[in-house]
Amino acid sequence: MTTGKKAATSKSGSPRSRSVKAGLVPSAAKGHKATRAVKTTRAGKTNTSNPLLASWRTPFAIPPFQKIAPEHFEPALNKAFAEHRAEIRSIASSKARPTFQNTLLAMEKSGALLERVARVFSNLEAADSNDELAGIARKVSPRFAGHESAILLDARLFKRIDVLYQRRDTLKLDAEARRLLERTYVSFVRAGAKLKPAERKRVAAIKERLATLVTEFMQNVLKDEQSWQLVLDGETDLEGLPDGFRASAARAADERGLPGKHVITLARSSVEGFLTFSARRDLREIAFEAWTRRGANGGASDNRAKLTEIAGLRQELAHLLGYESFAQFALDDTMAKTPAAVDDLLSQVWSHAVAKAGDERDALAAAARGEGMNHPIAASDWRYYAEKVRKERYDLDEAELRPYLQLDQIIAAAFDCAQRLFGLKFSPLDDVPRYHPDVRVWEVQNRKGAHVGLFMGDYFARSSKRSGAWMSSFRSQHKLGKGSTPIIINVMNFAKGAEGEPTLLSFDDARTLFHEFGHGLHGLLSDVTYPTLWGTSVSRDFVELPSQLYEHWLMQPQVLTKFALHHKTGKPMPQRLLKKLKAARNFNQGFATVEFTASALVDMKLYELSNPPQDMEKFEAEVLGEINMPEEIVMRHRLPHFMHIVSGYAAGYYSYMWSEVMDADAFAAFEETGDIFDRKTANRLKRYVYSAGNMRDPQEAYVKFRGRPPEVVGLLKNRGFA
């Protein structure tokens, strides 16, 4: 066995893009080398014309990835920035009286080229990067922020929007147009449009600096993930690892030029699987230490000082905008509204979770003593002994499940549920451009056979890809002009099966696939007029509802019986396994809830501070001490690698739990009908949640679907706490 740093050949961490229509800026995705043609032509020279600026004469106008090289991006972005500035300048300087058409609608139609180029760049830099793309990201991220600020802080443009907003009751707008006006006005105000000139200048400077810091933070996490590996050499190092996991580790070794060895990486599916199965406590400790120290290893990739600066700048930004803390600012435009409301939810769950985790720890300790281990359970021991207790208590272990959870079958299960719920059909497309050979593409059609959009799946871990799992898009949906259909992508990091063998998933992997596909459906089913309101452009504590709700269908026996087929025999998962799986559903839930809730609580505490902590690790330890964090559990994301809270989920990691209140309650609506695919319920869900984008307030949207507000008891019951 050897462990340590290896040379990282390509680095990523770029955020995906999101359209604000007032500007287009990269914003962090949740949070995601072989031969990719996005480099040079066969002769080694770049194309003389820029494919990013040409018409895309490809099937479904999908980006012509094979023609795009890194050096195409900066010239294309330069032209796109200039074009968008000219469009906005024309709107802002117009002498005509402001109308919805010459101001709001004109803004919605602007920036098309910038959006197109930025989406391609940000998706590639996150999912299949290299040193050139990473370098470009560091250069252009502050430019995107500056471009957006120049628009959102344009006094002439805001004056036109303000005039329309003050007259909104007399404009005779339909509900969607009025929502666009209201959301645009709020976006400008929250960006600082009402501030004095000097304050607006400072806001713009803060945002540019934040864009640089966030990009560097994300890239540093990837550097630490890419530069570490644990090489297993011989049967002693492999003790406890099941055959399927060994095969994936062998493939990882082959890809790194280590034939005959096995390699563990910091991709979650690799390291978590190792911590679950490895009988080598010393090696588990090494892997766990590397996993939890990402971003805090000293040197150029250390994120601790960067996070202090990020938190400080966000606090300054909040003060400029009239808020006591960044947490108050961030939550003011969400369903939760206040830090107090978030604290109330998290505290309700925390007490239940800690008590349950204590019982779980005692059971693990008993199992360890049964094997002759006399020292206390450590954080690096938890998954290993939890798997042993689960096997003993429910006669169920992860190794027994994996042969039934083939990647292709789980994809088919996700598609089948979408067909039964929403009438969608997924047809594979083999002859369309893709940015990496592993990427799969499907055309999506509705019940009538009409084109809905494209769905892309990028499922396997590789060194050029940021860790995690996320949904993004290469094109959004809207109905302006000729309209636009979406191109949606799900990106994941599953360990690829051995050559000629299927990729087998853990149940958590399968749940992740369903989760991200739920986000994908939120984009695919979008049915709005205006780009700003499309798809997932909703409150962040509502955006997780479609994804977390979709996870529920994976657990249903009628889905598993049909698609959980043994990869060798083709036989469905036996009833005895289904019963065990259901019985063990809430096993280890105390642990899972503690590691998540602790992360959410620390996130909120960080952004409620008036002055950011200079020592992030000391601050983290102090907060965990205040809430009596169990010593045997660590935060799911420690601060130096907590990518969510430097990006779009700053003071917002709680959102997953807030949405869980709704998703548990929403699935109950199907259960109450006696049919988990009930057509009427599915139609309401599609109309008010999956297709509605940001056309209405999220609380109103949920009530229209469910007939009443969500109830927290569903969450507690879902986690086995009630």
DSSP string for 68-103: --GGGHHHHHHHHHHHHHHHHHHHHT--SPP-IIII
Total tally of structural domains belonging to the chain: 4
State the Rg of the chain over Cα: 25
Q: Is residue 211 left, alpha or beta, with left meaning phi > 0 and alpha meaning psi from -120 to 50? A: alpha
For 310-377, the DSSP string reads HHHHHHHHHHHTT-SSHHHHHHTTSSS-SHHHHHHHHHHHHHHHHHHHHHHHHHHHHHHHHTT--SPP
DSSP 473: E
What is the Cα–Cα distance from 562 to 564, expressed in whole angstroms? 6
Asked if 351 and 463 sit in the same domain, the reply is no
Residue 203, pLDDT above cutoff 70: yes
Asked if 518 and 621 sit in the same domain, the reply is no
Q: Buried b / exposed e across 301-316, counting CB within 10 Å, b at 16+?
A: bebbebbbebbbbbbe
pLDDT tier at 1, thresholds 50, 70, 90: low
Asked if 429 and 355 sit in the same domain, the reply is no
132 catalytic per annotation: no
According to the model, what pLDDT value does residue 177 have? 98
What is the Cα–Cα distance from 614 to 649, expressed in whole angstroms? 21
Of the candidates 285, 300, 315, which is a domain's last residue? 300
Asked if 415 and 550 sit in the same domain, the reply is yes
What is the Cα–Cα distance from 383 to 389, expressed in whole angstroms? 10
What is the Cα–Cα distance from 161 to 326, expressed in whole angstroms? 26
Asked if 541 and 610 sit in the same domain, the reply is no
> Tens digits of per-residue pLDDT, 446-499?
999 999 999 999 999 988 898 889 999 999 999 999 999 999 999 999 989 888
Token reading at 644: 């969510």
According to the model, what pLDDT value does residue 479 have? 98
Of the candidates 200, 221, 242, which is a domain's last residue? 221
Q: Which of 472, 447, 414, 432 is nearest to 679 (CA)?
A: 447
According to the model, what pLDDT value does residue 48 have? 55
According to the model, what pLDDT value does residue 2 have? 53
pLDDT (mean) for 580-597:
93
- Residue 707: what residue type? G
| CATH (domain of 463) | 1.10.1370.40
According to the model, what pLDDT value does residue 548 have? 96
pLDDT tier at 246, thresholds 50, 70, 90: very high
What is the Cα–Cα distance from 407 to 457, expressed in whole angstroms? 11
pLDDT (mean) for 403-416:
98
Asked if 509 and 413 sit in the same domain, the reply is yes
Token reading at 580: 């065990």
Domain assignment of residue 568, yes or no: yes
> Tens digits of per-residue pLDDT, 337-351?
999 999 999 999 999
- Tokens 């021991």: give the residue: 381
From the list 108, 176, 516, 551, the catalytic residue is 516
Instruction: Provide the 10 A C-beta neighbour count for residue 434.
Output: 19
What is the Cα–Cα distance from 678 to 689, expressed in whole angstroms? 16
Beta bridge partners of 214: none
Domain assignment of residue 471, yes or no: yes
Asked if 518 and 609 sit in the same domain, the reply is no
Q: Which of 331, 360, 359, 329 is nearest to 345 (CA)?
A: 331
According to the model, what pLDDT value does residue 30 have? 37
DSSP 688: I
Q: How far is CA 632 from CA 21, 350, 351, 384, 637, in A?
A: 46, 16, 16, 13, 15
Counting residues of the chain whose pLDDT is more than 70, the rounded percentage is: 93
Query: What is the enclosing helix (H) or strand (E) of 679?
Result: helix 679-685
> Tens digits of per-residue pLDDT, 117-135?
999 999 999 999 999 999 9
Asked if 560 and 647 sit in the same domain, the reply is no
Residue 104's SS3 state is helix
What is the Cα–Cα distance from 293 to 471, expressed in whole angstroms? 26
* Residue 490 near residue 517, CB atoms below 8 Å: yes
Q: Which of 542, 540, 499 is nearest to 703 (CA)?
A: 542
Domain assignment of residue 473, yes or no: yes
Domain assignment of residue 316, yes or no: no
Q: Which of 204, 165, 156 is nearest to 186 (CA)?
A: 165
pLDDT (mean) for 669-686:
98
According to the model, what pLDDT value does residue 269 have? 87
* Residue 651 near residue 327, CB atoms below 8 Å: yes
Asked if 465 and 569 sit in the same domain, the reply is yes
Asked if 189 and 282 sit in the same domain, the reply is no
Residue 27's SS3 state is strand
Residue 128's SS3 state is coil
Residue 44, pLDDT above cutoff 70: no
Domain assignment of residue 47, yes or no: no
DSSP 105: I
For 658-669, the DSSP string reads HHHHHHHHHHHH
Asked if 714 and 652 sit in the same domain, the reply is yes
Domain assignment of residue 547, yes or no: yes
Domain assignment of residue 6, yes or no: no
* Residue 407 near residue 415, CB atoms below 8 Å: no
What is the Cα–Cα distance from 650 to 609, expressed in whole angstroms? 13
- Tokens 């509802």: give the residue: 545
Residue 67, pLDDT above cutoff 60: yes
Query: What is the enclosing helix (H) or strand (E) of 411?
Result: helix 407-422
For 640, residues 6+ apart whose C-beta sits below 8 A from its C-beta are 293, 294, 295, 296, 302, 303, 304, 307, 616, 617
* Residue 141 near residue 121, CB atoms below 8 Å: no
Q: How far is CA 549 from CA 2, 144, 281, 413, 564, in A?
A: 42, 33, 37, 15, 20
Residue 21, pLDDT above cutoff 60: no
Domain assignment of residue 314, yes or no: no
pLDDT tier at 9, thresholds 50, 70, 90: very low
Asked if 214 and 258 sit in the same domain, the reply is no
Name the residue range of residue 259's domain. Answer: 227-300
Q: Please give the mean pLDDT across all residues of the chain.
A: 92
What is the Cα–Cα distance from 476 to 535, expressed in whole angstroms? 8
Of the candidates 278, 300, 322, which is a domain's last residue? 300
